[in-house]
């Protein structure tokens, strides 16, 4: 039987909240690593990612997940530009499949990846053990 303290720790670990992306560490009053930062803003992920510079620059996000497609701002945004911007912060990006990740950063980039179909992208901190 889990203790009350163990239950509280689990709830804290699984907590979800809405804050401006650049203030994620400050909002959670932590300098610790963020294991997964999942962005799902119904078509505005590329706009939200533009505000993530300071959070990503601090290299305290182990994994970043966002949606890519043709709706909203994605219609006029190149995935390559977004991936290159994220890569500047020591992250490697991949398309997420059911059982596989396809690398799309750096030398792995192919112009065919600008297909603007609904996909999930995961970026992982290169220096994370």
For the chain, percent of residues with pLDDT exceeding 90 = 51
pLDDT of amino acid 16: 59
Which of 116, 119, 121 minimizes the C-alpha distance to 103?
Answer: 121
Of residues 120 and 55, more confidence is placed in 120
Angstrom distance (rounded) from CA 86 to CA 49: 9
Average pLDDT over the chain reads 83
Decide if 82 contacts 52 (C-beta within 8 A): no
Angstrom distance (rounded) from CA 70 to CA 126: 28
Domains in the chain: ranges and CATH: 25-125 (3.30.110)
The verdict on pTM exceeding 0.85 is no
Angstrom distance (rounded) from CA 5 to CA 69: 42
Q: What is the pLDDT of residues 6-28, one digit of tens each?
A: 544 554 455 555 656 555 555 55
């Amino acid at each position: 039987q889990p203790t009350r303290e163990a239950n509280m720790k689990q709830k804290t670990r699984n907590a979800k909240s809405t804050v401006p992306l650049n203030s994620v560490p400050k909002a959670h009053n932590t300098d610790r690593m963020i294991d997964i930062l999942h962005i799902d803003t119904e078509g505005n992920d590329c706009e939200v990612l533009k505000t993530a510079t300071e959070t990503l620059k601090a290299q305290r996000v182990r994994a970043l997940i966002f949606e890519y497609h043709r709706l909203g701002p994605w219609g006029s945004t190149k995935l390559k530009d977004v991936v290159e911007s994220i890569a500047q912060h020591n992250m490697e990006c991949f398309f997420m499949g059911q059982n596989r990740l396809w690398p799309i950063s750096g030398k792995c980039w192919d112009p065919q990846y600008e297909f603007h179909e609904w996909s999930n992208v995961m970026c992982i901190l290169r220096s994370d053990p």
